[in-house]
Amino acid sequence: MTYPHLHPGDRPVAAACFRQVRRRLAFVRGKARELATLHGFRRDVHERVCARLRRETRLQLQAMRQVLHTLFD
């Protein structure tokens, strides 16, 4: 995602933030794939934790996009 009005020195910081959140999303997706191997109570707990992490991560990504759009578009 590019922001033409973003100071050239700030672009690597913004890109690093997006990469970090996307890595976290990939981690959560990997944990969700582990659900197939779990059973019973452990599966229920794992499912709730994954759902919470996914929701929090998506909210972070959405907030970062909103801030960048507000500041630089």
Cα 71 to Cα 17, 24, 40: the distances in Å are 16, 25, 47
Q: Are 1 and 22 in contact (CB under 8 A)?
A: no
Mean of the per-residue pLDDT values of the chain: 81
Q: Three-class SS of residue 3?
A: coil
Average pLDDT over every residue of 48-64: 87
Start-to-end C-alpha separation, the chain:
12
* Cα–Cα nearest to 21, from 51, 69, 64, 61: 61
pLDDT for 24-43, tens place per residue? 888 888 888 888 788 899 88
pLDDT greater than 70 at residue 1? no
pTM score above 0.75: no
What residue segments make up the domains of the chain, in order of their start?
Answer: 12-72
- Can you tell me which residue has the tokens 């759009």? 69
